[in-house]
Structure 1
């Protein structure tokens, strides 16, 4: 048997519904077949399973070797994403398509993948996992029309790595100020005035809550 991949370790967990158990087990088998290290935490209530995966990923460091990521599953993929995201430094995203996974890695540096056992076939889930594993941060993706990001957007994404990591560490005011400062530059990357106005309004609503 080939040696496990030394660069990525996946911690997995799922809810107890039959949808998520089956899909999680399929993906664990697939990951091991491609020599990815997997620590399978088994099944529990979807919120407990997701929280434990989120906690483990949060306790790792960006320089950890191997890199630690998480994989969580429930019926829709939404609940496990919510609870994994309760922990600082966790960027869990629910992905229903491979394009979602590419965007999540390129834009959000997602380190926890949430999948839906009810709405995603095993074949599609494997494609999603492959896309999520193999897409670097700040790379061309469907959201960038599969082209390199404009220079201004690249600078925003690079800064976001530091700023996103601070969210949840008790310094939300500073994070909100940083987001406000970046809104103008990000809006300039949008093509039409209508889209620009919507972007600023939505972002302001999120920041000021």
Structure 2
């Protein structure tokens, strides 16, 4: 089983901790790249770290999860890393489509905007989905080579 890379800033700390624990309880191996307290940190540094690992080591990491206050900042930062397709999700349909249509390799969530149970359901939807290839392949290739 591959690892799941996780990271957050202070605004996503509580949500990351909840999701990390639930994933570990389900038997997943999680690599936590911080932050480790609710003290303020700079989200780009953590997003770049998680995104860099996911992009550089696809054989090691199944996918990544990033949390900040809204999920927007970490999504923007992660998508700066070549090979990353980070998707900010707000519902289970979007989480599933992010993987099926866009082959997203990081899901981003808002710790201040997303309820705990909904976040867990979105992570499960993301994990349970597979890239559909077909008509989506050239689109993802265009994103990857941009």
TM-score, L = length of structure 1: 0.64
Give the whole-Å Cα distance in 1 for the aligned partners of 2:129 and 2:139: 17
- Shift of the 40–67 alpha-carbon distance from structure 1 to 2, 3 Å rule, reads closer
CA distance in 1 between partners of 2:80 and 2:98 (Å): 18
Does 1:52 find its partner at 2:52? Answer: no
Give the equivalent residue in structure 1 for 2:139.
160
Name the one with the larger helix percent.
1
Query: What are structure 2's unaligned runs of at least 5 residues?
Result: 36-40
Larger RCO, structures 1/2 (Cα 8 Å, 6+ apart): 2
Q: Distance in 2 between matches of 1:76 and 1:161?
A: 25
Aligned to 1:38: 30
The answer on whether the counterparts of 2:54 and 2:61 sit within 8 Å (CA) in structure 1 is no
Matches within 5 A, 1:134-173: 134-138=128-132, 155-167=134-146
Distance 1:57 1:67, change over 3 A: closer
Alpha-carbon separation, structure 1, partners of 2:51 and 2:124: 21
User: Aligned pair count?
Assistant: 141
Task: After superposition, give the CA deviation of every residue in 1:101-146 in whole Å (9 maximum; x if it has no partner).
Answer: 01111111110010011111111100000000001112xxxxxxxx
Instruction: Check whether the contact 2:5–2:61 (CA below 8 A) recurs between aligned residues.
Output: no
Matched, 1:131 2:131: no
- Computing the radius of gyration over CA atoms, which structure comes out larger, 1 or 2? 1
Deviation string, structure 1 residues 32-81 (Cα, Å, up to 9, x no partner): 111111000111421111111111112124xx1x4431110001100000
The corresponding residue for 1:22 is: 14
CA separation in 1, counterparts of 2:62 and 2:113?
A: 26
CA shift for structure 1 position 162: 3.4
Once residues 68 and 137 of structure 1 are traced to their aligned partners in structure 2, the CA distance between those partners, rounded to angstroms, is 13
- Please, what is the CA RMSD of the aligned residues? 1.5
- Give the structure-2-normalised TM-score: 0.89
